[in-house]
Amino acid sequence: MSPAGGVLTAVLALPRADGEPPVTVPRDPAREAARRELSKRMYHENDPNLLQRALNAFWEWIDKLLGAASTATPGGGLGLLVIVLTAAALVGALWWRLGSPRRTPTSAVPLFDDRPRSAAEHRAAAEAHAARNHWNRAVQERMRAVVRSLEERALLDPRPGRTADEAAAEAGRTLPAHTDRLRAAARDFDDVTYGGRTAGPETYHRLAQLDQDLERTKPVLANSSPRTAHSAHQGAAE
């Protein structure tokens, strides 16, 4: 007989006050009766709720995990703390250096707003933002200046709703010497506009240089001969 069963049987077998023989209950029925009694709501009013029990179990698991890690780490708990702080510092340094992850899909949001402006107006706005170190807005306005300039030169058909990626792809067909730079400029525009990245002065100056180079570049027309296309390519490289 277990101690609990013996105590329970002993309690149930106490002599009655009226002198009648004591009432004895077998172990299993007594255990079931006790279980039913203890399952009553009055005994569980102060028990933690499901969320509290889950949190307690979680923190117990974390405590066991850290205890096991500190045991296996040279230097114990202090060594584990040094490792955690070093890892956090590395993650912070990478985040500061690389920024938020680049967005993979291209954006479908139009490049221009509803109010049309000239390339000169977009360039002036870009320079004003750059003078105040507002590099994101400066990059946006300079990319708009690039595309508007190509439209003004009839190298792109003016089309509402065009995205930066579409403009770069279309312009690359008539300005093949700058295809890669146009695509990179479109990615920079998308990154700062929709990808949550922060531009710097080097991004803006790279885009401004592209704008200036495109102004001096002659387009390669579809009916141009190979010699004409080669001459245009040499002119772009100068």
- Work out the percent of the chain whose per-residue pLDDT is above 70: 63
Please tell me the predicted confidence (pLDDT) of residue 115: 62
What backbone phi and psi angles, to 5 degrees, belong to 175? -130, 65
**pLDDT 10s digits, 45-93:** 666 777 888 888 888 887 777 777 666 656 566 666 767 777 787 777 7
Q: What is the mean pLDDT of the chain?
A: 75
Average pLDDT over residues 219-233: 51
Token pair 């002198």 is at which residue?
19
H helices of 73-216, in order, are 76-98, 119-131, 135-152, 164-174, 179-193, 201-216
| Beta carbons within 10 angstroms of residue 217's beta carbon | 19
Average pLDDT over residues 217-234: 54
Q: Which residues contact 146 (CB under 8 A, 6 or more apart)?
A: 119, 182, 185, 207, 210, 211, 214
Q: Are 171 and 165 in contact (CB under 8 A)?
A: no
Token pair of 43 as six digits: 């005994």
Q: At what angle do helices 201-216 and 135-152 cross, to 10 degrees?
A: 10
20 versus 143: the higher-pLDDT residue is 143
- Work out the percent of the chain whose per-residue pLDDT is above 90: 34
